């Protein structure tokens, strides 16, 4: 299938790893911290938190759900068999770079209709997802079809997906620090059937 040479791979990796880290560092400087704080306050006040994303973004949202659960919050991943109905007082945290991913938009519309608060992570504030969101945390990353590399030299939506993980980890870190809960206490909620 592929026939890579070790030297060529090492040369590429030597250039690409710092490039990926630099793109994330530049993006972090552009994200509006007060919007992340506003998101934290929404999550803090939620009866329950539901998360949704598709593809690799969905995997990042599952990671975010895990960390929020470690804080002691009640969190569900949309689409899992044990996920209950969303209700008024709940928050749906949805991530879609384009804000047009049909499954995510439909879930957000249903959550909004049920009286839940919708918060979204996206590259745009002008989308069907943004239209039903109380809060849109703008992530200045490339969308999947930015083939010219105008915003990111990485493939497809990689920078967006990475930033979703980094931003939600920063959100967790800030919320955790402000709880004064020692790591040993938070660890008690860590999975123990691994």
Looking at domain 29-145, its CATH class is alpha beta
pLDDT recorded at residue 194 = 81
CA distance 131 to 105: 10
Catalytic residue among 161, 184, 185, 194: 161
pLDDT recorded at residue 150 = 72
Q: In percent, how much of the chain has pLDDT > 90?
A: 85
Contact status, residue 50 vs residue 40, Cβ threshold 8 Å: no
**156 burial type by CB count under 10 A (0-12 exposed, 13-18 middle, 19+ buried):** middle
Position 33 pLDDT exceeds 80: yes
194 is an active site residue? no
> What would the pLDDT profile of 104-151 be if each residue is shown by its tens digit?
999 999 999 999 999 999 999 999 999 999 999 999 997 766 666 678
**Torsion sign (Cα): 157, 158, 159, 164:** positive
pLDDT recorded at residue 1 = 81
Q: What is the DSSP letter of 189?
A: T
When the pLDDT of each residue in the chain is averaged and rounded to a whole number, the result is 94
Show me where the domains of the chain are located. Answer: 29-145
Site of tokens 């992340």: 36
pLDDT recorded at residue 62 = 98
pLDDT recorded at residue 35 = 97
> What would the pLDDT profile of 165-176 be if each residue is shown by its tens digit?
999 999 999 999
């Amino acid at each position: 299938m592929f026939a890579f040479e070790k030297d060529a791979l090492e040369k590429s990796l030597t250039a690409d790893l710092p490039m990926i880290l630099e793109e994330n560092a530049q993006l972090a400087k552009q994200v509006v911290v007060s919007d992340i704080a506003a998101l934290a306050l929404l999550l803090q006040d939620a009866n329950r938190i539901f998360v949704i994303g598709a593809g690799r973004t969905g995997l990042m949202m599952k990671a975010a759900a895990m960390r929020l659960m470690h804080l002691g919050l009640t969190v569900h991943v949309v689409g899992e068999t044990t996920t209950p109905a969303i209700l008024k007082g709940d928050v749906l945290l949805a991530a879609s770079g384009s804000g047009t991913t049909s499954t995510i938009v439909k879930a957000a519309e249903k959550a909004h209709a049920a009286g839940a608060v919708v918060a979204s992570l996206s590259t745009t504030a002008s989308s069907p997802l943004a239209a039903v969101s109380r809060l849109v945390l703008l992530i200045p990353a490339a969308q999947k079809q930015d083939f010219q590399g105008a915003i990111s030299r990485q493939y497809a939506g990689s920078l967006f997906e990475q930033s979703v993980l980094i931003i939600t980890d920063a959100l967790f870190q800030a919320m955790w620090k402000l709880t004064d809960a020692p790591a040993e206490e938070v660890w008690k909620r860590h999975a123990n059937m691994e």
